[in-house]
């Protein structure tokens, strides 16, 4: 595992695994395994990559086995953040055969999903390397899996945007519309939000950016600006106007083929919802060792 990468505590995701196991077991349990494998049988299996990618969530996958049956032992051979190729063995699983087979699908579903996000993130991080821009995710995550999916982004070399509505202020176009304009929106933020809370504001034009910078100069709290659907020339102009006073974040319409060009405009951050909502699952599998 990448020594700089800290996986989330099982306290944050055990309930997700238990929910997934209950969903799979239903009320009757694993009919096939119980009918075909004796209760005392033990075995060993390997979890391997069947495609090239980046590992994320192997400890989560391991937890699916051990939560179902503490007698299962998982030996992780390739940690999160590492690259794998087809045929690489990521972990070995030893213990009661029934438990290995019953927890298999839950473990692989989680592992494949998280590896897919990490792999996609790594490809974008590589694309913007050397520009100084960071790649960040959004709240466009699978309901219930946010803590794991955002961790997978970190495993791929990206960074996290806010985790939820309660850890930062992001004033978007709809907030501004309901508030009656940028000024009343920021007035409300200044009145209600403490000094330790990050405040970011979305703008949709250079004119609106100019208004935002004027309000900031008057003492309204702004730490970052989200440049929504700006073209490359507009992004460069925005970066020049901000002149390093606040963080600049580009969002909207950024894809694998355009990320580099966006990063080269000088923005600090590229936020990409598709890192989590459109990642392709990495093909991983479990094979029983002969014996």
Active site residues: 105, 140, 172, 202, 228
Say if residues 112 and 281 touch (Cβ distance below 8 Å): yes
Tokens standing for residue 201: 């504001």
Cβ atoms 198, 172 nearer than 8 A: no
Look up residue 179 and give its two tokens: 């508030």
13: left (phi over 0), alpha (psi -120 to 50) or beta: alpha
For 105, 118, 180, the CA distances from 102, given in Å and listed in that order, are: 7, 26, 55
From residue 117, alpha-carbon distances to 64, 112, 114, 161 in Å are 19, 9, 5, 15
Contact 157, 124 (CB under 8 A): no
């Amino acid at each position: 595992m990448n020594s700089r990468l800290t996986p989330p505590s099982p306290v944050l995701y055990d309930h997700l695994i238990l929910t997934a196991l209950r969903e799979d077991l239903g009320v009757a349990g694993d009919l096939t395994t119980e009918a075909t494998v004796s209760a005392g049988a033990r075995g060993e299996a390997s979890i391997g990559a069947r495609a090239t990618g980046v590992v994320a969530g192997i400890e989560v996958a391991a937890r699916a086995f051990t939560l179902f049956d503490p007698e299962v032992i998982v030996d992780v051979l390739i940690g999160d953040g590492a690259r794998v190729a087809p045929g690489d063995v990521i972990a070995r699983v030893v213990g009661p055969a029934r438990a290995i087979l019953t927890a298999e699908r839950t473990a692989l579903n989680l592992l494949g999903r998280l590896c897919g996000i990490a792999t996609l993130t790594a490809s974008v991080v590589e694309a913007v390397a050397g520009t100084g821009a960071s790649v960040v995710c959004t709240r466009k995550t699978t309901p219930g899996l946010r803590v794991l999916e955002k961790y997978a982004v970190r495993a791929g070399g990206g960074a996290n945007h806010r985790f939820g509505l309660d850890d930062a202020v992001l004033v978007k176009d709809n907030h501004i519309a309901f508030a009656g304009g940028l000024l009343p929106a920021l007035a409300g933020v200044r009145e209600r939000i403490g000094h330790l809370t990050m405040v970011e504001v979305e703008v949709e034009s250079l004119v609106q950016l100019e208004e935002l910078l004027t309000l900031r100069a008057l003492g309204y709290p702004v730490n970052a600006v989200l440049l929504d659907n700006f073209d490359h020339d507009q992004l460069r102009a925005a970066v020049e106007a901000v002149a390093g006073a606040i963080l600049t974040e580009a969002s909207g319409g950024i894809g694998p083929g355009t990320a580099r060009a966006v990063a080269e405009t000088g923005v600090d951050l590229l936020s990409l919802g598709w890192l989590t909502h459109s990642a392709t699952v990495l093909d991983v599998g479990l094979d029983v060792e002969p014996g």
